[in-house]
Structure 1
Amino acid sequence: MYKGFLGLISNVMLSAALLLPVSIAQADDGEQQRAANKLSELLSHTQTITGTFSQLTLDSTGTQLQEASGQMVLQRPGLFRWHTDPPLEQLLISNGEKVWLYDPDLLQVTVQKMDQRLTHTPALLLSGDVSKISENFSITYKEGGPVIDFILTPTAKDTLFDTLRLSFRNGVINDMQLLDAVGQRTNILFMGVKVNEPVDASQFVFDAPAGVDVIEDGE
């Protein structure tokens, strides 16, 4: 069983066949397009993102299920490193062509080919091809002072989350929230965020430690 928000990303990857975009009727195409353009503009101005995150998962009654923290490094297009600290440690790395999911507790790493359908995952939403956003999501937004909230609803059916909220403060990603069909909420607060600073390319390469089982996609 995968762990926490990182597990959600992994499950989306492993269930990518369920996430093929489909066409749906939009109530207000003009508003949808304005929201998509605004979000794309914010994301396209960000080539790299580094920072830490704090994650809290609650059930439908508000009862805490899990709490975790970690570090992230993202670089457009499609490169990211998402590390969740112990005791729920996992490491997710993409080099733009392959994705590695390493679980040190299981001594196992799963390797998959990158797929553009993975733009449904939050890490790739923040680091991937911004032109794909409107193809994969119905989008609305609201502004309040320095804060802009975007609500993204997947246009595919049978997805692993019903809505995703992205919040920006002064043009920088501040937090996100995922809500699933049974009312479970995962809140992620980003801290110490820095944008458009040089990052070490070696962070997007994974070398399996000795003794770790490597499971290749399709095997």
Structure 2
Amino acid sequence: MQRILLFFSFILFFTPLFSWDTNITSIEANFLQVTYQGEEKITYSGILYAKTPNFAKWVYQNPLKKEIYLNGNEVAIYEPMLEQVTLSTLTQKNDFFTILHAAKLGEDGNYHAIIANTHYTLILKNNTPYQIHFIDELQNTIKITLKNVKTNITIPDSVFIFTPPPHIDIIKQ
């Protein structure tokens, strides 16, 4: 669970990582996440919504439906097929300014940040967030590609609030 929380703590602050355009306040994009666990490759896809200050929602559509809500340091991971939600609080300090100041342009033309001992490589396409690569603490290589990126759009706060449906199990960690 800590691995998931570390990964999503990054996601919570995804938009500020790309703050060389300091006017980015929100982002909506389709995503393709490829995770390599040794020789095994797992591919996920869905939609990302994020906005300042520290809101994010990942809607996984394939291969299984899942929703991840981040609101400040509160996390809700809703898995409809399991009829459960896991609620937890992030313990790592990954605030807006920490990540904002950590992303630096590298010699390879990409941006790099080291947060909580994880090295992130950020790639732009047409000066828009396009890809991020990193290796998690279990040595899984993760590559997230964004498409149909929209920035500075209005996203209502209600998008980031998880309301549990009736009859699901609530797990608090």
Q: Please state if 1:216 is matched with 2:172.
A: yes
Q: Please state if 1:42 is matched with 2:20.
A: yes
Residue 149 of structure 1 contacts residue 168 of structure 1 at CA under 8 Å; is this kept in 2? yes
In the other structure, the counterpart of 1:195 is: 151
1:54 counterpart (21, 26, 32): 32
In the other structure, the counterpart of 1:142 is: 106
Q: Please state if 1:12 is matched with 2:6.
A: yes
SS of residue in 2 equivalent to 1:105: helix
Q: 1: CA distance between counterparts of 2:126 and 2:136?
A: 28
Give the alignment's TM-score, normalised by structure 1: 0.63
Q: 2: CA distance between counterparts of 1:114 and 1:96?
A: 9
Shift of 1:186: 1.1
In the other structure, the counterpart of 1:153 is: 114
Letter of the structure 2 residue corresponding to residue 67 of structure 1: T
Residue 176 of structure 1 contacts residue 187 of structure 1 at CA under 8 Å; is this kept in 2? yes
Q: Deviations over 1:161-198 (max 9, x none)?
A: x4211112233211101124665311110000000011
Letter of the structure 2 residue corresponding to residue 169 of structure 1: K
| Identity across matched positions, percent | 22
SS of residue in 2 equivalent to 1:85: strand
Shift in alpha-carbon separation, 1:149–1:73, aligned structure 2, 3 A: same
Letter of the structure 1 residue corresponding to residue 30 of structure 2: T
Shift in alpha-carbon separation, 1:102–1:184, aligned structure 2, 3 A: same
Gaps of 5+ in 2: 10-16
- The structure richer in helix per residue is 1
Task: Give the alignment of 1:163-178 within 5 angstroms.
Answer: 163-178=119-134
| Bigger radius of gyration among the two | 1
Residues paired across the two proteins, number:
166
Q: 1: CA distance between counterparts of 2:149 and 2:100?
A: 25
Residue 13 of structure 1 contacts residue 118 of structure 1 at CA under 8 Å; is this kept in 2? no
Shift in alpha-carbon separation, 1:181–1:198, aligned structure 2, 3 A: closer
Give the alignment's TM-score, normalised by structure 2: 0.78
Shift in alpha-carbon separation, 1:186–1:85, aligned structure 2, 3 A: same
Q: 1: CA distance between counterparts of 2:146 and 2:112?
A: 17
Letter of the structure 2 residue corresponding to residue 48 of structure 1: S
Q: 1: CA distance between counterparts of 2:141 and 2:67?
A: 22
Gaps of 5+ in 1: 17-38, 120-127
Letter of the structure 2 residue corresponding to residue 187 of structure 1: K
- The structure richer in strand per residue is 2
Q: Please state if 1:104 is matched with 2:80.
A: yes
Shift of 1:118: 5.3
Shift in alpha-carbon separation, 1:134–1:77, aligned structure 2, 3 A: closer
Q: Deviations over 1:130-182 (max 9, x none)?
A: x22277x5x542377xxx4112223x4xx5xx421111223321110112466
Q: Please state if 1:132 is matched with 2:98.
A: yes
1:82 counterpart (36, 58, 67): 58
